[in-house]
Each structure stands twice: as C-alpha cells, then as structure tokens.
Structure 1
Amino acid sequence: MSLRDTRILVSIDFGTTFSGFAYVHKGDSIRNPDIVTNDIWPDSVGDYKTPTALLYDKAYKEVKNWGTLALEDESDYDYESDELRPRPVELFKLYISDLEEYQKPWLPPQFEYKKAIEDYLTQMQLCIKDTIEKRWPGINFPLQVGLILTIPAEWPHHTTAIMRRCAHKAGLIKTLDSTNLEFTTEPEAAALYCLGVVGEHGLRPGDTFLVADCGGGTIDITTQLLQDNKLSEITERVGDLCGSTFIDKEFLRWLGRRVGFQALEQLKLHNYGQMQHLVQKFFCPLIKFKFNGNPEDFRQVKLNLFKYCDELPQYIKGEHRQNMENVGWSLKLDFTSVKGMFDPVINRILELIESQLDDANERISAMFLVGGFGESPYLLRRVRETFGNRVPNISVPVNSKAAVVRGALVYGLNIDVVRKRVLKWTYGIQVCRDWVAGEDDEDRRTPDGKIFEFRRMVKRRTQVEVNKPFPETCYPVKPNQTSALFKIYYTTKDDAIYCDESGVKLLGTLRILMPDIKDGLNRPIEFSLTFARLEVRATAINKRNGKIYDETSFELDI
C-alpha cells in the first residue's frame, strides 16, 4: 500500500519546542478536504501544539509524562528530594542539526538523543491512534494511515533517514521502508498552506511569493512560483537556528545579570519547572507576545520574584542579594532592555529574508509570515519597515501557527502539487579510474594503479523536477567483476574532487549483483539518482538489455 491508497492522512509537525498534528479522511471530499488540526491533548484542550518535552523516571528509562505535563512546576511523582527529581528532556531535535558539540542542549549522561525522538513520537503515536479510533472505528492503524512528517529546510541530508527510523520504532509505520511515509520541508508545507490564501491577496499564476516559517527553534524561508495552483521552488531554501526561544534565553541572561547566574543555575538544578513557569507564565504572555517595538505603546513591566518564582530568592547570594533586597525583590523591564532581547534574533531573520529576495532576482508579489513567532507584532513591524519597498504585500495568514501541519496535509493529498525543488546539495558518486603520473597525488594511488574520485552528477542550486532521474553510465573495473558498489556522496561544494575531502559526506551505498561476466568490461550500467520528494532514491539499469537490477539495496549512512 502506498500513500495514495491510505484512507486517513496524518501530518506531524515535530518541532524543536512545540509539536502538533493534523488529520483528514480522504473519502469523497478530496477537492475540499475537511482538515482537522488537533487541539486535544492528554493535559489540555484548545491548543494546536504541545511542548516537545519528556519527563522520565530517575533512571531516564521510562517516560512518565510528556508535553505540558513534563514541564509542570511540581511533579505528580513522589521523588526522594528535589535534587533527584529528573530534569525534563527538551530541545533534543537539535541533535540532528549541524550544531557544534558545545552548542547542543543538555541531555542526561549516556543518553542517546534518538531515544528521546523515538519516545516522543511514541507518545504522539498513541495520541494519534486514539484520536483516529474515536473518529473512525475500524481503521487499521498504521496500515491504512498515511503519514507526512515535516523537517527543517537547512538540516543535514540524513535527517529524513533518522526520522524514518524513529517513526518506525515509534509504531507510526509498519515497516522501515513503508511507502505510507512521506517528507516535506517546513517552509514548503507552510507555502502549501499559503496556497489557499493567495487569492485573497491578488496573486495570479506566474507570481512569486516568499514564506518565512518562524518557529520556536528554527527559521525556514522559501520562495515559490505559483503556476496552475501548483508550486515550484525558485531559490535555494534557507534557514537558521534563530527562533523565538532565543529571545527567552536573552530574557534569562538579563535576569542572570541581576540575580547572579549561579542562582539561576541552582534554580535550574533544583526546580527546573519553576524556571519554565517564569518564562511561560510571565515573560511570554506579559512581554514577548505583546511587544511591538513602539516605545509609546510600551508599559514598563514589574517582575516580582516571590510571585512568579518564589524558589529563586533562596539561591541569590552576596551583592546580588543585597541589591534585590534594596528593590523589594522586584525588577523592572524597560523598553530598551526588552528591545535588546528581540533585536539579535530579528536581525538574523531579516538577513535570511534579504538573502532570499536577492537570490530570487525577480519581483516578489507577497511575503507571508507563519509559525508561532510569525505572530510577533515586532517581527511584522520590522519586516514591513525593512522590505516594504520591495514586497508590496507582507502579511500574517489566519491560523498561521498551524500553517506547517495543515500545509503538510495539502501535500499528502496531492503530492504532485510540488513541481520543482531547488537542490541544497551537490550530489555525486565515487568512481575508480587509472592513476595518472604527474597529474594525480602519489598518496592517492592504490596498489593496483587506480585512484578514486568524486564524480558530480548534479550541482547544488539546480532546479529539478520532482522524480526526474539524473543518470550516469559506468562500467566494471575488472572483466570478471560480479558485483558493483556505488557510493553516493553529497556536499555544499560545487566542484569537489575527492570523496574524502572536507565537507563531502557519504549519503548511502547502492549494492548490485552482476553475475553475467561474458562481456567482460563491456557491461554498461546506468546508475541514476532520482530526487523523488525529499528522499533521494538510487537505481541501476543494465544498458545492454534494459534490466533493472532487482537484487539491489540502498543503505543510508546514518
């Protein structure tokens, strides 16, 4: 069974800080599907998303709670002491990214980040299964359920392989190679959601529009060409780790300078939930969500520590404690301080948008800001001030927080809605040829006088049609060779020479059997890469008889 044959479609927006899912019954309403964004969670009703967080037992083996319940001030479990209360596991999605080791978020000692992803997706699976069984009893889950998973635009190629494996272990798909699972990027899904509102903004076929998906952890941007109610990506999508949680971090830095960073570390160690309460119940609703960058609209906000974080004062020592006693344990957040928390993040977003506008090299008719942070009044103000002279229509669509998860279902209902994508990597294979004296490095010569090179098949930034193959004809190296090994590599470089040079990474290996050796070296093999959706597929064909090698295996390097 393929995605087209399933009865129910579910999309999952697995976010850095918040996650959600949507679903639809394909039925007879394919042209006007009744997409439902889930807002019922084990701990709450009315929210489209729940925190991407897990609370484990003391050994970090068994999940005790997830979502909002994992971040509550007090635990429902009777632990021996605050010191032994497990700290919630958060931000684990960032481990898939290319962050340096020192930049990666905290995880328990000897804890594998993939376990957290599997455990979280398992909780999502249970919630999804329960929801579907309530709506449509008798649905065979997961066999009759198609799944669309979204991934950030900028993340490494192995992201899809890792997420596929985690989805399988979480019970979201029956087999690892299940065709019930498809991927789309977060900005592409957001663009597909915006496809439903382009008419409201006067866009016509041939117009281009930019979508900035502004979430808690990542910012992803894409530029799309509208054609016959379908989309073609016209620039290389961009993104960065500069979401709204980085503003939360700036707030905590501001607080740390006043109460002492050591005091904050003690609070984090002994009562992590209360620090979360301070951010989520004070800073976000009273300051971050309302801030619009206009000093005339700003009203100074007072932070009373005993009201919002009564555990913190006991850890404040020395000069910091004296200062806090002098001000009655209250701190005032003025306009300049709050603006300073926002600006580093927003300035980076403006840089990403500007790079997209420059790369498009043509008039952009509209720009849509989506995602939780896309609702920020200050972000919208800055974007309009900066780019209003280049883009005539800059807006935030209705229900923009659910744009990604709903747009992913639009993709799942009609995967042909995306015509073209722009490649983010250069792809090639490792080839073997005769070593040439005076031209090739002596160190790279093999004992039998050969040398291995990177042969480029398609260059980064190439606009490709979905499912278009890129072929390369190869021949056996030896006349009695009975098998072949194709190693596929990818890189951000345009002209890599060797597969072992910096920045060139192994994507996977295709193994084929070629038992018929009667033609010796004259056995041409057409090897091709097909950019089918977001998962690269490799095939090999015997050029002499047209046979597709059926004894092949494509092993991803993860």
Structure 2
Amino acid sequence: MTEILQISTNSLQVPGEDKSASASPPGSPSPSRNECSIAPLTPSPLPRTEVRPRVARPFSVVVAIDFGTTSSGYAFSFTEDAETIHMMRRWEGGDPGVANQKSPTCLLLTPDLRFHSFGFAARDSYHDLDPEEARHWLYFDKFKMKIHSTSDLTMETELESVSGRRVRAIEVFAHALMFFREHAIKEVKDQSSSELKDSEVRWVITVPAVWRQPAKQFMREAAYLAGLVSPDSPDQLLIALEPEAASIYCRKLRLHQVIDLSQRSLTNGLDLDGSRPFDSSFRQAREQLRKARHSRTFLVESGTGELWSEMQTGDRYIVADCGGGTVDLTVHQIEQPQGTLKELYKAS
C-alpha cells in the first residue's frame, strides 16, 4: 500500500500517527531533526492561474539556493554590500578530512516518513543501516530531474525511494528546501548586525533552463510548503534559470579571474629568468584584448586600475552550464536599454 504524506500545521506526518516525536527503531541512526515545521499547502493544479500584484519591499539579504542534480548548496549577500558573496559554511563529509562547499542532493526519511537528514549525513546514515532495517527507511538520491521527465506533473506526483516506498514529490522537495532554509537563516543571522525578519529575506532558487513551466511552478509550490516565503508574497521568491544566473555573474568578473596565467612559471612575482614582473602579464593581456574585436568585453578599466567586464549592445556569447546531471548550452545577446539578456538559442 502506498503511503502518502499528509500535512498538518506544524509538521509532515502520516495519517493517524501520533503528533509527538516517535522513537526510531533500535540501532537506527539518530535523526538530526524530528519534525519539519512546514507551513500548510492547499493542493491545487499546476500551474497557478491567479496573478498577484508585485509589491516593492526593502530586502536586507538575498539567499540563493543551488538545488543541483548531484550536489546542492547556497550563498547569500546583504543588500548593503551586494558585491560580497558569502558561500555556505564548508561541511565535513565524504572522504575523511575533506571539506565541501556543497552537499550531495540526497534525502533520508524515517520509516514513519519524518525528516531525518540531508546530504552527507543522509548518505552515511543510510549506508550504516542494517540491510533489513534499511528496507523500512526512505532514501532519495538524484531525484531533481524526475520532475522534469514527468509529463503530467501535479501536486500528487510521487517519487520512489531506493527501498521502493513512494512519497509525494512535493513533500520530498519541501523537506530538502526546509533543510537549506534552516541552515541559511542561521548563518545569515550569525553574520547580521541587526535582528532579521523573515520578510526581509529574498530567496532565489535556480532551475535548469530546459525545465518547462509546470516544473518551475512545482518548485515554487515546494518553496511555499517549506516555509521559505508565503504564497501571499510571491515577489519574495525568484525562480531563476541556471545559465542566466551564471551569465549575469560572469559579466561582472574581473579580468584576472578570467585569464589563466597558470601556464607561466612565476617566482615571487617574477618569471624564472627575473625579466618580467607579474603585473606585466595583465598589461600584455589587456593589450591583446584591445586588439581583438571579439574580446572587447574586457576593456573597461576602473579608477583603481582593475579591469571589469562590460558587454555592449549586440554582444553575443555562449553559456555552457555543465552540471552533475545535465549540460545545457545557451546563446545570449545583450539588449538595451537595461542590458537585459536575449536568448538566441534555447538551452539544449
């Protein structure tokens, strides 16, 4: 019999189960979070048809979640210092002594369908279970693209765990997003000099460019369920295409972040023969770029001598988004007056 998660106001639970935290079977891994305090969701067909007016509001921080096929992570920046991007804290996991800035996109639920862990903790906990006991637990791995391959995606679409048990996909994604919300908010508050309200946080979730509209709306519904934002404040959540986000970021890279100087052997800022200082490599690169019409992207020099990328109207470039599960190629062109992007070739 298929067990489907039902939603209460304060937690995700199975019909008829006790709302109190249930004990895990003997020998099972200790859960890191017993309940998932997820806001209720009113099931509705995808996509939503209502149109809500956008209301301008002063956001204090922007948190972006990279929900990947194989690995996921987040980063944030305060609007008062938008150029400073804070990556999520490195988590220990994988090989002993190896720090990672991303976590595997895998989720572990207890036999009674409660959240247990995500990422390295989920993977390691599941692998440590006794084979017989593991049959009762629900482990999901690399489940992101399954909602793209589902032609009739709805709120009732299910995902199958490794053990064969099935759960509504919206609940699986909500658990994962709730996990990142808790960690991101804690880290943001640790670095904030003032008290932060939920309404002051703008959330961004990136999705593949090949995703259809129902899949994008599905991710938004999962974010509502996870409590990232309220359905009454849709402007607080942005669903951004992965290649577009990468494209906009790369347009602001400094020249020395783009040009690879690793092929030159330098010692204390000099060539091995001591004939050329380190900064002359940048001057030489700058002159070469000025001679090349197709490379005029990197011709803007700031007052401090730094070279910043600046694209002009009509500039075209290819974005290769090489992820763990997909590789998307897109061609963009700069449009005026606001420097917006025009997609010349759809992601494939």
Q: Which residue of 1 aligns with 2:84?
A: 34
CA distance in 1, matches of 2:226, 2:327: 27
1:150-549 equivalences under 5 Å are 150-197=206-253, 202-203=296-297, 204-205=311-312, 206-226=314-334, 230-239=339-348
In structure 2, relative to structure 1, the CA distance for the partners of 1:139 and 1:232 (3 Å cut) is: same
In structure 2, relative to structure 1, the CA distance for the partners of 1:46 and 1:195 (3 Å cut) is: farther
CA distance in 2, matches of 1:87, 1:121: 17
What is the one-letter code of the residue matched to 2:70? T
- % identical aligned pairs: 25
Q: 1:140 aligns with which of 196, 208, 233?
A: 196
SS in 2 for 1:6: coil
Larger Rg: 1
What is the one-letter code of the residue matched to 2:327? I
In structure 2, relative to structure 1, the CA distance for the partners of 1:3 and 1:128 (3 Å cut) is: farther
Q: Which residue of 2 aligns with 1:67?
A: 119
In structure 2, relative to structure 1, the CA distance for the partners of 1:64 and 1:155 (3 Å cut) is: same
Structure 2 residue 60 is matched with structure 1 residue 7: yes
- What are the superposed Cα offsets for residues 29-52 of structure 1, whole Å, 9 maximum, x if unpaired? 34xx10112133475884221111
SS in 1 for 2:69: coil
CA distance in 1, matches of 2:68, 2:135: 28
In structure 2, relative to structure 1, the CA distance for the partners of 1:42 and 1:65 (3 Å cut) is: farther
CA distance in 2, matches of 1:57, 1:175: 29
CA distance in 1, matches of 2:245, 2:142: 22
8 Å Cα contact 1:55-1:86 kept in structure 2: yes
SS in 2 for 1:5: coil
What is the one-letter code of the residue matched to 2:135? L
What is the one-letter code of the residue matched to 1:216? G
CA distance in 2, matches of 1:235, 1:223: 5
> Scaled by the length of structure 1, what TM-score is found?
0.38
CA distance in 2, matches of 1:152, 1:80: 35
Cα displacement (A) at 1:151:
1.2
Q: Which residue of 2 aligns with 1:17?
A: 70
Cα displacement (A) at 1:3:
6.5
- What are the superposed Cα offsets for residues 317-370 of structure 1, whole Å, 9 maximum, x if unpaired? xxxxxxxxxxxxxxxxxxxxxxxxxxxxxxxxxxxxxxxxxxxxxxxxxxxxxx
Structure 2 residue 159 is matched with structure 1 residue 94: no
Unaligned runs of at least 5 residues, structure 1: 240-558
Cα displacement (A) at 1:161:
1.8
Cα displacement (A) at 1:176:
4.6
Cα displacement (A) at 1:198:
7.9
Cα displacement (A) at 1:85:
5.7
8 Å Cα contact 1:11-1:23 kept in structure 2: yes
8 Å Cα contact 2:159-2:166 kept in structure 1: no
In structure 2, relative to structure 1, the CA distance for the partners of 1:121 and 1:141 (3 Å cut) is: farther
SS in 1 for 2:75: strand
In structure 2, relative to structure 1, the CA distance for the partners of 1:74 and 1:153 (3 Å cut) is: closer
SS in 1 for 2:319: strand
> Scaled by the length of structure 2, what TM-score is found?
0.59
SS in 1 for 2:100: coil
Provide the aligned C-alpha RMSD in A: 3.0
SS in 2 for 1:173: coil
In structure 2, relative to structure 1, the CA distance for the partners of 1:8 and 1:100 (3 Å cut) is: closer
Q: Between Structure 1 and Structure 2, how many residues are aligned?
A: 232
Unaligned runs of at least 5 residues, structure 2: 1-53, 153-157, 259-294, 298-310
- What are the superposed Cα offsets for residues 345-404 of structure 1, whole Å, 9 maximum, x if unpaired? xxxxxxxxxxxxxxxxxxxxxxxxxxxxxxxxxxxxxxxxxxxxxxxxxxxxxxxxxxxx
Cα displacement (A) at 1:2:
5.0
8 Å Cα contact 1:12-1:20 kept in structure 2: yes
What is the one-letter code of the residue matched to 1:140? L
In structure 2, relative to structure 1, the CA distance for the partners of 1:12 and 1:83 (3 Å cut) is: closer
> Which structure's residues are more often helix, by fraction?
1
- What are the superposed Cα offsets for residues 5-35 of structure 1, whole Å, 9 maximum, x if unpaired? 10000111111111111100111x34xx101
CA distance in 2, matches of 1:188, 1:136: 29
SS in 1 for 2:223: helix
